[in-house]
């Protein structure tokens, strides 16, 4: 894939107009959720046919945590209407659906797409993220559900060719969504930084993302235009970081918290990182990164520097202070929850984590997160 093109919305979407004209788009599949109706860009799409002669086919038949059947319906619509481009407007779910429609658009509809080999195609995919958090617009990953089981799709060819940065899309974000998506971006950047798969390039993306989040989070939470613009870019940079380095234990542990307690993904990831980070500093002797303990100590120092802190311990305190100020609730565990949580952890993502974690330690983390004990795990 070539370099991803970044467009700016501006006052009247001139760059988007020029791009669509240059590509000679005739009929476009618009993948969106209900939030589009409340955004300024909705008016742009309403007049697209009249202004540019582009036929717009709208697809919104999907839910959060989208199902395979929805994607298959989108592929069928894309083909039946002979669309030549896909535009996604929304958060992670809309973008993931659009990615999968692109991936499957040239595959055999008579066989389950998940079982077929992906053959890259030249279908253009342009996305307009409406949250500053998932970074999905920058990654090769998508998540859909088949028979209620999560399916993680990974393919370089599903990375969108074009991203439209529309600051206006963040203006209507509810407060909780605003906080949780920001935390998702921060956790992406931090986890990618310490991942065993990190590279010099991914760490630079992480560094920039962390610096931008820490510099602009108050303005962003106050819904100021500059804060929104910087958070949108920070989330994109964090997405580029995890595209290279992948997430670690924070994300491996967070998914079942989301489904069990109905909290947002970024909220759940932030709670996991809250307990993981100080534990890691105390147990660098458990390092499994082949670059060694000295290297990992240096990484924690770099993360601290990106956060504007002098020492790694101060970075942990700054992170904890941020969570405290955001005042997000901590779920209360029910009987039997811990066994479910412990068995839910994605072992593949744990392999990306630089500190060895066993099942007993993970269980202690969950107890600590959910109030089962006062201190973070500190097993020797």
Where residue 61 sits, what CATH number does that domain have? 3.40.50.1970
Q: How many domains does the chain have?
A: 2
Among 155, 170, 185, residue at a domain's last position: 170
Match 């920001």 to its residue by tokens: 182
Query: What CATH number does the domain containing 196 carry?
Result: 1.20.1090.10
Kindly state whether residue 14 falls inside one of the protein's structural domains.
yes
- At 39, give phi and psi (nearest 5°): -105, 150
Together in a domain, 197 and 234: yes
Together in a domain, 196 and 242: yes
Together in a domain, 128 and 268: no
Alpha helices in 197-291 (DSSP H): 200-221, 225-245, 249-261, 265-282
- What is the pLDDT tens value at each position of the chain, 380 positions in all? 568 999 999 989 999 999 999 999 999 999 998 889 999 999 999 999 999 999 999 999 999 889 999 999 999 999 999 999 999 999 989 999 999 999 999 999 999 999 999 989 999 999 999 999 999 999 999 999 999 888 989 999 999 999 999 999 999 999 999 999 999 999 999 999 999 999 999 999 999 999 999 999 999 999 999 999 999 999 999 999 999 999 999 999 998 999 899 999 999 999 999 999 999 999 999 999 999 999 999 999 999 999 999 999 999 999 999 999 999 999 999 889 999 999 989 787 799 999 999 999 999 999 999 974 334 455 43
Q: Which domain holds residue 339?
A: 175-369
> How far is the C-alpha of 301 from the C-alpha of 361, rounded, in Å?
24
Of 194, 296, 312, 175, which Cα lies nearest the Cα of 250?
194
Kindly state whether residue 348 falls inside one of the protein's structural domains.
yes
Together in a domain, 160 and 227: no
209, 185 contact by CB (below 8 A): yes
pLDDT tens digits for 353-376? 999 999 999 999 999 999 743 344
Together in a domain, 63 and 119: yes
Together in a domain, 262 and 305: yes
Together in a domain, 311 and 186: yes
pLDDT tens digits for 178-192? 999 999 999 999 999
Among 145, 170, 195, residue at a domain's last position: 170
Alpha helices in the chain (DSSP H): 14-23, 41-46, 48-52, 68-80, 92-104, 175-194, 200-221, 225-245, 249-261, 265-282, 292-306, 312-326, 337-344, 347-350, 359-369
User: Any idea what the Cα angle at residue 243 is, between residues 240 and 249, rounded to 5°?
Assistant: 115
């Amino acid at each position: 894939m070539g370099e991803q093109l970044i467009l700016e919305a501006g006052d009247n979407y001139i760059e988007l107009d020029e791009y669509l004209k240059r590509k000679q788009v005739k009929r476009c599949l618009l993948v969106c959720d209900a939030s589009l109706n409340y955004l300024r860009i909705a008016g742009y799409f309403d007049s697209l046919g009249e202004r540019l002669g582009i036929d717009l086919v709208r697809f919104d038949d999907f839910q959060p945590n989208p199902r395979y059947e929805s994607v298959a319906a989108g592929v069928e619509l894309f083909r039946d209407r002979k669309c030549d481009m896909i535009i996604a407007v929304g958060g992670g779910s809309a973008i993931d659906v659009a990615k999968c429609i692109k991936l499957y658009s040239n595959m055999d509809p008579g066989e389950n797409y998940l079982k077929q080999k992906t053959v890259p195609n030249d279908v253009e995919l342009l996305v307009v993220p409406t949250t500053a958090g998932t970074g999905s617009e920058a990654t090769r990953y998508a998540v859909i559900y088949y028979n209620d089981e999560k399916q993680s799709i990974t393919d370089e060819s599903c990375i969108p060719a074009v991203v439209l940065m529309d600051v206006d899309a963040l203006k209507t974000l509810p407060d909780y969504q605003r906080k949780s998506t920001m935390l998702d971006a921060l956790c992406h950047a931090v986890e990618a930084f310490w991942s065993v798969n990190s590279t010099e390039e991914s760490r630079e993306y992480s560094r920039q993302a962390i610096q931008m989040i820490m510099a602009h989070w108050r303005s962003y939470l106050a819904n100021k235009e500059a804060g929104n613009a910087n958070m949108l870019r920070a989330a994109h940079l964090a997405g580029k970081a995890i595209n290279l380095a992948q997430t670690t234990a924070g994300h491996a542990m967070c998914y079942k918290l989301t489904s069990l307690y109905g909290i947002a993904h970024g909220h759940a990831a932030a709670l996991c990182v809250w307990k993981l980070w100080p534990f890691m500093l105390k147990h660098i002797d458990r390092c499994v990164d082949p670059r060694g303990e000295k290297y990992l100590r240096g990484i924690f120092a770099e993360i601290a520097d990106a956060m504007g802190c002098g020492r790694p311990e101060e970075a942990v305190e700054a992170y904890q202070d941020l969570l405290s100020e955001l005042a997000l609730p901590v779920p209360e565990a029910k009987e039997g929850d811990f066994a479910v949580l412990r068995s839910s952890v994605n072992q593949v993502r744990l392999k990306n984590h630089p500190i060895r974690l066993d099942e007993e330690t993970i269980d202690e983390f969950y107890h600590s997160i959910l109030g089962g004990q006062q201190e973070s795990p500190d097993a020797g």
